[in-house]
Amino acid sequence: MNNPLLADWDTPFRIAPFQTFSDDDFAPALEVALGRHNSEIAAIAAQQDAVSFETVIGALERAGKDLEKVLSVFYTVSSADSTAAREALQREFAPKLAAHFSQITANKALFARIEALWTVRDTQDLTPEQQRVLMLTRRGFLRAGAALTGAQDVRMGEIKSRLAQLGTSFTQNLLADERDWFMPLGDGDLAGLPQFVIDAACAAGAEKGQPGPVVTLSRSLIVPFLEFSSRRDLRRKAFEAWSARGANGGATDNRAICAEILALRQERAALLGYESFAAYKLETEMAGTPEAVHQLLRDVWGPAKAQAEADAKVLTAMLKDDGINEPLAPWDWRYYAARRREAEHNLNEAELKPYFQLDKMIEASFACANRLFGLDFAPLDVALYHPDCRAWNVTRDGKHVAVFIGDYFARGSKRSGAWCSAMRAQAGYPQAQSPVVINVCNFAKATPALLSYDDARTLFHEFGHALHQMLSNVTYESVSGTSVARDFVELPSQLFEHWLTVPAILTEFAIHCETGAPMPAPLLEKLLGAAHFDMGFQTVEYLASAMVDLAFHEGAAPQDPMARQAEVLAQIGLPAAIAMRHATPQFAHVFSGDGYAAGYYSYMWSEVMDADAFAAFEDCGDVFDPALAASLERNILSRGGAEEPSELYVAFRGRMPGVEALLRGRGLGT
């Protein structure tokens, strides 16, 4: 078949030749790739010879490479540069792919081969990594329902197919709400806005085909608008639109979708013998049980809520000083917190922003990777899927390591948030395969492109994920890079954020966009001195989402998720002026797929480790200590999922951490 998606890509480092693909290529290529994968699976299952790792697990690792190629391209463009045609293909592909992979895990002959190998594994002279891959493969089949029979087996396939459809619909509804809403700003609507916000709003207006500035629902634009606009009526209008994503009624409303997803997940867990989806999901995570997650969240909730309530009193007094005799509202918090930070720390975003140029922050992330791990980054002149994208050849000691792609700017065709994915994962089997890794962000596009400090942290965070992919050094792709427990995957990303706080890095790369001067020492001191500012708010809005997520997946599925959300928030006493970071109808982490379902807590679980891990660098007196960096790479970044996460962490740090380092890091410790 002469389809460019299935051809051998004769490009630098076999990067996908995006310019040769059209949307019409995806469906035919998928059909061919599915057929080839089915043939490969059938051949593995039909073997009659004595089982061996090579003929069962090795063959599974080799299978499906054409399918991986097609889907790596499709998922990249459909999430970062969507079109109506691609959205239609997503709706078509989701149940088809769910059925395909469900048929594999339901293949009784194939599972019998895996079970036979498991039975004789002690006679196979397997390497530790092979033992791990075999265990994970068998466990994955069991958790997918491979041991089910009859009506239960059929029902599991139906559930998986329907969940795939619902997740796609949820994502597309959210994208539509974010894409379609904007608020034009007239001359009288710009009060309080610094020039960088106006510039970003003008760029957003141009992207929307409007003659002037607009506020969109992109976090990189709406958050600074909420921080600076002195127009309380406009802040309220923008905040309410932001909060209503996925809950506006009509065709894009996600509330019924959420209810059905939760019910199907609970049914899926019950079919597998678990009392709840949370129990099913957490069995393979570091946390292990819902009770362990509850304990962590409770340990942090108390100090965080107390700090947030104390801060709310200060902000309420500021509100009343402005002559507003109303309760502090969620659309007020960021505005008055920004004014308070300026008053108490003599620090404001408008003063900081010119020092955080996107290009310089990219350079900073590369410089940290070089000083820690010896990586070098050289620009690549290759055509990618959008003109905003950039690519680099990553080398060490002159040898190719990976390709890194960055797609940094918000646009209407891109789903919200920030993420890292591997278009091709590292592997050493059946031959050496270097990774192609992409970071996607949603920063406001303007000239010059300036970031907030939080934006810069996001850039470092996603690059930490990228390093986990790029430095992977395992044999089998199934345990490569970020193929780890969900509550361990955020450790490298959150740990890398800490290097943005290193004064030497900020002095070198936080360069004023107009004067070229480095950030003055007094401003740098104020920035780092305010590191804990408003941490009660940030922690509470995150924890509220994590607690609601966990509650959704414990026990019977709620018939009305919005009522259950309200019940949980009332039980924990969420301050009225703080909203969940992700309300249910827009909670893509949890409802676009089940990756973070019953797992949104994982950011905080990983933060316990990242705070403790960075303390190791601080304690040794050199945050770029080569021996410690080598240990981090050897014991964590290079190992992927080839060993248990707790074993990897202990190998690096010598012990598991407690919550104390996290509380200190957030300024919530006693």
Instruction: Provide φ and ψ at 666, rounded to 5°.
Output: -95, 5
Q: How big is the chain, counted in residues? A: 670
Q: How many CB atoms lie within 10 A of CB 390?
A: 16
Residues 6+ apart with CB under 8 A from 484: 640, 641, 645
Token readout for 219 is 């976090």
Helix (H) or strand (E) holding 297: helix 290-321
How far apart (Å, rounded) are the C-alpha atoms in residues 90 and 83?
10
Residues 6+ apart with CB under 8 A from 454: 223
> What would the DSSP string read from start to end of 110-140?
HHHHHHHHHHTGGGS---HHHHHHHHHHHHH
Residue 448: is the preceding peptide bond cis (ω within 30°)? yes
Provide the residue type at 588 as one letter. Answer: A
What are the angstrom distances between the C-alpha of 196 and each of 203, 220, 236, 290, 342? 11, 12, 21, 44, 17
- Can 283 be counted among the known catalytic residues? no
Which own/partner contact pairs does 621-629 have at CB distance under 8 Å and 24+ positions apart? 623/498, 623/499, 623/502, 624/368, 624/371, 624/372, 629/372, 629/373
Q: Are 362 and 406 in contact (CB under 8 A)?
A: yes
Angle at 390 between CA 388 and CA 392, to 5 degrees: 175
Q: Which of 220, 222, 311 has its CA nearest to residue 533?
A: 311
| Token pair 């401003």: residue | 523
- Set 462, 490, 497, 643: catalytic member: 462
- Crossing angle (nearest 10°) for helices 645-653 and 602-619: 20
How far apart (Å, rounded) are the C-alpha atoms in residues 310 and 670?
15
What are the angstrom distances between the C-alpha of 656 and each of 647, 648, 661? 9, 10, 12
Token readout for 638 is 């290079």
How far apart (Å, rounded) are the C-alpha atoms in residues 411 and 408?
10
Q: How many CB atoms lie within 10 A of CB 542?
A: 21
Instruction: Provide φ and ψ at 385, rounded to 5°.
Output: -80, -15
Q: Are 63 and 97 in contact (CB under 8 A)?
A: no
Catalytic positions: 462
